[in-house]
Amino acid sequence: MTDRHEDDPAGDPAESGPVALSEAEVARQEIEAAKEREAAITHLEPGAGFGKRFVAAVTGTSVLVTILSFVAAIVIGGVIIALTEPAVREAFGYFFARPGDAFREAWDVVSAAYVALFRGSLGGRAQISETLVSATPLILTGLAVAVPLRAGLFNIGAEGQLIAGGMLAGLVGFSVTGLPLVVHLPLAAAAGIAGGWVYGWLPGVLKARTGAHEVISTIMLNNIARLVTAWMISTTLFRRPDRSDPISKSVEASAQFPRFVDGLRVNTSLLMALGLAVFVFWLVERSTRGFELNAVGLNARAARAAGMDPDRTVIRAMATGGALAGAAGAALILGLQHRLTIGFSAGLGFDGITVALLGRGRIGGTVAAGLLFGALRAGGRSMQAQTGTSLDLVLVIQALIIVFIAAPGLVRAIFRVKADDLATGQVAKGWGS
């Protein structure tokens, strides 16, 4: 692979042996220091219970900041919900005459909305099914962003990678016939993963070989994927012969993810998502490749001095992220929609950025954030149907949760908590990295 840092003295151990040795030691110290900071950030005492350790492992922060972040988001979200209700605004119009009416009306509106939100996400088998259905692609697109984050890269291209994966998975799903499910389904899913891998590999190569910033290249590739897909679905290769509108042929039954229970939409693509999450956790946290990925993210120059290849790691990180986004596209087409349409991705690739940032780039945190957002999506639809509350307000609550978890200083200021009780941490590097 071509080395774009040929003028870097650390790249030639023969010419600068002592410097290379020193920087190799720096690389090891960076990793150890990062682990120590991670342990200190969560403020876990030796006798901490399972609950505290679990929350710290998932969120990368303390139990206190996690709870207070949710409380703040729910309270402010409740205020917004109340103020959008005409009856509440009318009651506040004569607040000084009868203040109890205003508070009672606001409480009734907010409590009804939140009860509907909870019941719509966890209130029964059907509701839990919808939560898991919504969470499955979010977990995968979140991981597609989280893995490159560990290498100091910002993968904005999960949307395009999801589209590429969904297109290939759908193509194999409807064009290949006569195969049993145990062959056809893995083949179609693998095609989706491969499509996303290639679409993530491209910006990785551009970054490693030319220095092109991954944010710019992935944004452009998103647009290319969206426009090319719109054209391809209208061609005879994809479009149903009995339809004039752009909609593809249906995926064969042998290429569809089976449902767990008849009548519920949750299907075995959830197992694929969780299995990939376990694999990615091992890859990032336990494997040699994961060590290199973290080392490059911390200090690429020191990692090179230690004998690693940052350029190759960048390509691997982006390609792995693309493969995970491609798996999300496969889950969407083979598990739910069973056909390709314009805009089938529904912005899930961009939602994955939010999921990964809420999970602080951690694998467990990203999975938990995907489940949370899946619950908010499913519950939001129920809240809108039962109370008439706008679905957009669920997005407001999501944004508030992210703001408070990502800004512990803001939580400290609101609740007057000591700074030592809150975690701080850098999720990703800036533009100059």
**Digit-coded pLDDT (tens) for 309-343:** 899 999 999 999 999 999 999 999 999 999 999 98
Given a cut of 60, whether residue 23 has pLDDT beyond it is no
Q: Is residue 141 part of a domain?
A: yes
Q: What is the Cα–Cα distance from 343 to 337, expressed in whole angstroms?
A: 12
- For the stretch 377-417, pLDDT in tens is 898 888 888 888 777 877 887 788 778 877 777 877 888 77
Compute how many other C-beta atoms are within 10 angstroms of the C-beta atom of residue 45. Answer: 7
Please tell me the least confidently modeled range out of 157-161, 261-265, 354-358, 411-415. 411-415
**Confidence tier at 47 by pLDDT (50, 70, 90):** low
Query: Which of 290, 342, 343, 359 has its CA nearest to residue 140?
Result: 359
* Beta bridge partner(s), residue 239: 248
How far lies 363's CA from each of 68, 141, 276, in Å? 22, 12, 10
Burial 83-118 (b: 16+ CB within 10 A, else e): ebbeebeebbeeeeeeeebbeebbeebbebbbbbbe
Residue 226 lies in a domain: yes
Name the strand (E) or helix (H) holding 345. Answer: none
- The position carrying tokens 């679990």 is 54
| Spatial CA neighbour of 370 closest among 416, 415, 331, 425 | 331
Which two structure tokens, joined as six digits, stand for 144?
């597609």
Q: Rounded to an integer, what distance in angstroms lies between the CA atom of residue 195 and that of residue 379? A: 32
Q: pLDDT digit string (tens) for 272-315?
A: 999 999 999 999 988 888 888 888 888 888 888 888 889 999 99
Query: Residue 289 domain-assigned?
Result: yes
> 33 falls in which pLDDT band (50, 70, 90)?
low
- Whether residue 99 lies inside any domain: the answer is no
* Cβ atoms 26, 302 nearer than 8 A: yes
65, part of any domain: no
What is the torsional sign of CA 355, 427, 33, 421? negative
- pLDDT above 70 (res 374): yes
Burial class for 221, CB neighbours closer than 10 Å (0-12, 13-18, 19+): buried
The overall average pLDDT reported for the chain is 83
Place of tokens 């391809």: 232
In a domain, 73, yes or no: no
Mean pLDDT of the 112-129 span: 91
Q: How do residues 222-250 score in pLDDT, each as one tens digit?
A: 999 999 999 999 898 999 888 888 899 99
The whole domain housing 152 covers 137-378
Q: Is there a domain that residue 258 lies in?
A: yes
- Which two tokens mark 199? 């679409």
**What pLDDT does 352 receive?**
92
Number of domains composing the chain: 1
The rounded distance, in Å, linking the Cα atoms of 32 and 48 is 22
pLDDT at 1 (0 to 100): 45
Q: Pick the residue with more confidence: 2 or 87?
A: 87
What are 155-211's pLDDT values in tens digits? 999 999 999 999 999 999 999 999 999 999 999 999 999 999 999 999 999 999 999
